Amino acid sequence: MATIFSHPIVALTIGRLTGMPPRTIAIGCLLSIVPDIDFVAFYTQYEDWHIIGHRGFTHSIAFALVLGFIATRFFTPHRRLDRNRWKSFLFLSTCTASHGVVDACTDGGAGIAFFWPITEARFFFPWNPIQVSPIGLEFLQWEGVEVLMSEIRWVWLPCFALIVVHRLVTRRILAATIRGFPNESR
Ligand SMILES: [Zn+2]
């Protein structure tokens, strides 16, 4: 798995780029770490490759859609089935699904059961630059620092770069629009 710090950064970035309200972004950040509730499987007889095991059904797209639906229904202010509610649903589901996407870029552990319940097959992306995080107290050792550095390089920095570029572009468009107003009124 990637660490608990990096998944919310991806959710935050998606939220900023899509202009979601802060409260919905906060929920998205929380949802982005929920798939790792399957860590309890480490304390059961289930092996990693089992669908209840780590990176099993909680990392699937189906789980993300269900969690996105529940969160939109109970934790967002939208009561009518309008455009904003659909936007929140899509955003919250994407934040949850982004967890599996980041995990699939790590260089170890079990593959991701993206397409459960259609198939229990596990997948990795062909490109795996992120160092996989050790479980439990091992994270507090030197290996944990190496993992964090790897996530800063491959997750945090690209995310912050995207937010900065998006902000600059949005400001330029806004400035150009404001400059255009007097011309239009002539
Ligand atoms: Zn995970």
Q: Are 24 and 15 in contact, with CB atoms under 8 Å apart? A: yes
Cα–Cα distance list, 143 to 75, 94, 101, 103, 146 (Å):
37, 30, 22, 17, 5
Segment 48-80, tens digit of pLDDT: 678 888 899 999 999 999 999 999 999 888 777
Distance 52 CA to ligand 1 centre (A): 13
pLDDT in tens, 78-118: 777 788 899 999 999 999 999 999 999 999 888 999 999 99
Residue given tokens 């480490």 in the structure block = 42
- Where are the chain's structural domains? 6-185
CA of 100 relative to ligand 1 center, distance in Å = 6
* Ligand 1 centre distance from Cα of residue 127 (Å): 17
> Model pTM?
0.87
146 Cα to the center of ligand 1, angstroms:
18
Distance of CA 54 from the midpoint of ligand 1 (Å): 7
**Which amino acid is present at 36?**
D
